[in-house]
Structure 1
Amino acid sequence: MADEECANPLLLGWVKEWLDTARERNSKGFTVYRKAYDSLKSCPLPFQHPAEAQQLHGFGPKLCERLTDKLKLHCQTNGIPMPEVPRKVSKGRANADDGTAPAKPARKKKAYVPTLRSGPYALILALSTIPESAPSGITKQQTIELAQPYCDSSFTASSDPTKFYTAWNSMKTLLEKDLVAEKGRPLRKYCLTEEGYEVASRIKASQPAADPKQSTLDAPAAPPKSRQRAPAGPTLGAADDDGFMAINSSPPPPSLSEPQHDNGMGVGLEDIVPFGDVLGDETALPTFSPITIPTSAFTLELVLDVREVRAKEDRDYMRVELTKKGVAPIMRSLDLGDALWVAKCKDPQYLQRYGLEGDEIMLDWIVERKRLDDLVGSIKAQRKGLRQLCGV
């Protein structure tokens, strides 16, 4: 049967249009539109309103609602009055006539709305930048570049070193919900389906002022405090209201008259700079003689934290890889940082001759390996402590 011989050629033409679009995008909705198209084409009954098509196989409330919107637009464009929705016999009244209890109404399915700044949220906003009429989508790398500013988690690295899940795994959920269409082999490309564009519209309507650089959209960011830049060299300044210390700012001189208190990070100022009696002149400073250690008396050693692992099942990865590069690290538990360097004396009694203990001298280099998403997690968990004092 030709499309012109169908009892509802206008509705059939719109369904065919959506069917062709789903076929081009390799969408899962192709099967649904195919069933609706075949059943509507073979139906001999003319419909006054798209809502009557729900009795056909493949037509649901959502598809009939889309047809109704298309019919409204068609009537407005051509100056035709919109047909009224046909009356339906109430199921409850029919059941009452039969003497049976009325059936419970079906529970309305809740519209899918992703969590703010989550993986699906960022992916939908990124793919919504593609015009709906575009013939093809964008690659994974292009999608990640557009989505990362809208997400608090990383799309390339896991926030948990023991797991391999990233924000990109949310793409599987969007594919299962038929919000994103995937096509192309081996280079896969992604684009939103009709349902995906509807979700994107709901997101933009609820968050009209979406700022990709803002970490939270529900509260305005506090204005930054004015800080005076130091003339040279990075220095640590005073902690602000959130407990962060400003870098490249001049710390204010401590007042001896004011009592010392905790700065909100669990570390008092008295633990950073010892306070004592005010000295009148430089002659009152203590004198000391520097200890000079020849380079032949020590070796430079890398100390690596034993908790710095790649994965729970691969704890020796970093040590093995460093050893392959010719660096055999000393493994021990570190209270600060993930790696540091020490000068280890070849003679264990060398420092004792100068009244010192041990055989190592810690050098002024500490490394804290931290990804941006991991740093955000540490701040949220308030695992800041001394790391703030070191500017990491």
Structure 2
Amino acid sequence: MDNITGKRITYKRTRPNPLFQEWLSELYEEANVKKSKLEPMLKEALDSISKYPLTLQTGAECAILKGFDKKLCRFLDRRLEVYHFNNSQNVEDVLVPTQNIQFEPNTISIKHSSTSPSFNIADNYIPSSNTKCSEKNPVEMCPLNESLCDRTNKNSPKKITKKSKRKIYTPAYRSGGYAILITLLENSKENPDKPSLTKEMLIDGAQKHSEESFTRPKPDTFYTAWSNMSRLVSKGYVLKIRNKKVEYMLTDEGITLAEELMRDTATRPTLNDIIFNDIVNTNTDVESVSLDGNLVNSVLPHDFQSSQRQLKNYSPVSNKEINNYVNVEMAPGSFDIILLIDKNETGGLTKKNDPTVAQFNKYPDLKHEYRSLKVGDFTWIARSSVNREQELVLPYVIERKRMDDLGASIKDGRFHEQKFRLRKCGLKNIIYMVENYGKNKHVGLPIQSLMQGLSNTRVQDGFKVHVTDSLSNSARFLAMMSKRLTIEYKNKYLKGCNKEPVCEELMTFEYFNVTSSKTKPLTVKETFIKLLLQLRGVSVEKALAITNVYNTPALLIKAYQNSDDKEGEFLLADLKYGDLSRKVGPLVSKSIFQLFSNRFML
């Protein structure tokens, strides 16, 4: 047999992993354009997979190469999953359908046909703009005439056999998206010739349909109700028109969806209907509020057991400071109950879409006004229907604090000073309303310290403490209070004057605001109390107990001079304060002695 001689034939794949290599090239180019800090890692991964001579079946197998971490391998696996799915939907077509790959600052997402599975990978990889790419034919790229898709489909742990149904986006009731669709639909019906609205006009009309604010972000986020607009545009429900000013209008699909939402929610009562019109809410999606619930009853006259005592011999302002003595009487049914809101609680009444104003505007039946209150943030007045200048203050005042503001007030000393002024205002029912701030993580003080402060406010100061989840819930609580106070006082005969209230008498609003002013002259005793409150451990009750025995600092200093050091340190320790008759204690007594005794003065 003749020897057969010839060249040895070797077969070498030039691109064993063409899909992975192409996807990594896209990521690397994008990182290079954006000057990302991940550019070196992606370059190393691209170089290593280009030199690797064997075929890799999954993204997880790439972990053996340099430059591949868990997130990058996971990205390749999920990208491969979408690639397989698209190939399975187009078996007769050699080319794979075009996909839209989007990279956002905190996510990597792949958008594709409506029947394909969608996913997001929170990888914090490449922050980039929208780019488009198309996959090449796997048969042409594979030298052995065996597609990578066929090989990997056999070993793929997840095999998609059914088409996933497209979920139709439906905004929640009174959410930002719901409010936008309803407002645009109403405008298109009222103005068919001009169905589009600018952002300002749209927000102005949509706020009344939404429980969320269109101007103030949610706690710990940058998102407002307006953030839903981008989703509505991407879903094809709203068309964005670029003129001199950007305008928005509904598409045909948007009109259909908006009409469905309007029909479905036509019989669903709003919070205003539930609170003021006695309409029962039968829908479980909306949080119903029982007007007879313990939450509201706990701050009403027949349930309120105030532990606060009237301060004896206290007259914050003499009657001479009020021009004329006024005696006001109101017969049942001749007055209206009105909620007064401090102007400082708003960003300014001239400011459009202020969050606080917008929340109260959701209750058209709520009678409320904005005024400058010298103490507290909310109170109620009874105004005569005959003479509108006659106004009597109901014995309720509310101080509102957000959790972060509560922490700041404790640190700078406003917390005790405000509680002292609330006790001196002459209204016996004081409610401390606190709003949660997101998850209460960034509130200036540990949450345990804030809870301890609220407990002291309830136990030691005798205030009612009410905690709400948001500004929306606070407005709801105040609306319920207004409703219940209207019912409580509608059959009562009201009597009052411009002096400190006695028994069932009320004080005029003019007298209330003048006597509660910070700028009014303080007596020596009041100044002494405010001075004592600056010391650690001294509460309002303790300060009052001390000043009832020693009305002025001079009397206390004289008592220290007539005693030795040991007697002086314990001079105030046995003084009793509060309803439980507790003692002031040696630590507080010693601190006050060190402050006022001339032995420690330089």
TM > 0.5 = no
Q: TM-score, normalised by structure 2?
A: 0.26
Larger Rg: 2
**Structure 1 or 2: more helix by fraction:** 2
TM-score of the pair, normalised by structure 1: 0.37
